[in-house]
Amino acid sequence: MTLAFSIKKQLEHMKLDIKMTCEPNTLTAIVGPSGSGKTTLIRMLAGLETPDSGNISCNNANWFSSSPRNVTPPQHRNAGLVFQDYTLFPHLTVEKNIRFAAVDSEQVPELLHSFNIEHIKNKKPHSISGGERQRAALCQTLARRPVTLLLDEPFSALDVTTRHKLQEMLLELKVQLHVPIIHVTHDLEEATLLGDSVVAIEQGKISPTWFASQLQAVHSAHNSAFYCEQFAQISNAAVCASTNRRKTSCRH
């Protein structure tokens, strides 16, 4: 399963123009300042917004093309999407939320167990913690067996400890899921930690220079030697892939 897209969309203050290919079993982290268009990008992939022109396809399925015009509605894309703070339905308990989305309801107990949310399965979303909520949200999204996983700042509202736990959980999940994962975040550290490849966007475009300067600012305190080595390469590179925290390679 491969998610490939080339999207153009005129936004209020800028023009979004992004072209990418995401492979299965790969987490592509997209970083950028707020207002850079990264949330719009993920919404267009999920089908909640329509690009002006371009193409989106997942595997053999065409999700969007401008000519001939085809817009597959979100219902028929089966793109798993987790928002920052809102995916669960407030009127349903955690278990019912997952059952709601599950392809195979017999799997629900197993899912509850593997996401460590069995103890809160009878609680409603407003009475559980932020970390539990996001675990349940991820569980709900994956219960539907999506063909891709789109994460829009899923851990941004959490405290540091919880965030780290969930980041680790996501790293484990990545190995098991055979789908491309796109993870949008404004946190460069998180992006480099989780991402097999990290893409920076600024003003609606893939921006190697922003990436480099931010990287420098954030990481100058530690690991500076390692990152400095990278700047030379990524200054004109669109995508920087870091297979893990230590070893890094880039492709153009």
Partner 1 sequence: MFSIPLILSAKLAFCTMMLIPILAFPPAYFLAFGSCRGKSILDALITLPMVIPPTVLGFGLLMLMTPSGAVGGAWQTMTGSRLIFSFSGILFASLIFNLPFAVQPLRASFEKLDKRLLESAAVLGLSPWQTFYRVILPNSISGIAASSILVFAHSLGEFGVILMVGGSIPGRTQVASIAIYEAVEAMRFDDALYMSATLVPVCFFFLVILNAINRRQQS
Chain residues binding partner 1 by CB under 8 A are 46-48, 73-81, 83, 86-92, 100-101, 140-141, 144
Burial class (CB in 10 A: 0-12, 13-18, 19+), 90: exposed
Angle formed by the axes of helices 160-176 and 130-143, nearest 10°:
20
Closest CB 130 distance from partner 1, rounded Å: 16
CB nearer partner 1, residue 71 or residue 218: 71
Closest CB 125 distance from partner 1, rounded Å: 11
Q: How far apart are CA 242 and CA 3, in angstroms?
A: 19
CB nearer partner 1, residue 48 or residue 228: 48
Three-state DSSP class for residue 50:
coil
Q: How far apart are CA 202 and CA 192, in angstroms?
A: 17
Three-state DSSP class for residue 104:
coil
Closest CB 126 distance from partner 1, rounded Å: 12
Q: How far apart are CA 136 and CA 100, in angstroms?
A: 12
Closest CB 3 distance from partner 1, rounded Å: 15
From the list 148, 139, 144, 47, the residue with the least C-alpha distance to 93 is 139
CB nearer partner 1, residue 132 or residue 202: 132
CB nearer partner 1, residue 46 or residue 238: 46
CB nearer partner 1, residue 89 or residue 231: 89
Closest CB 225 distance from partner 1, rounded Å: 43
CB nearer partner 1, residue 40 or residue 242: 40
Residue 203 has φ and ψ, to the nearest 5°, of 55, 35
Closest CB 86 distance from partner 1, rounded Å: 5
Residues 198 and 22 sit within 8 Å (Cβ to Cβ) = no
From the list 26, 76, 70, the residue with the least C-alpha distance to 177 is 26
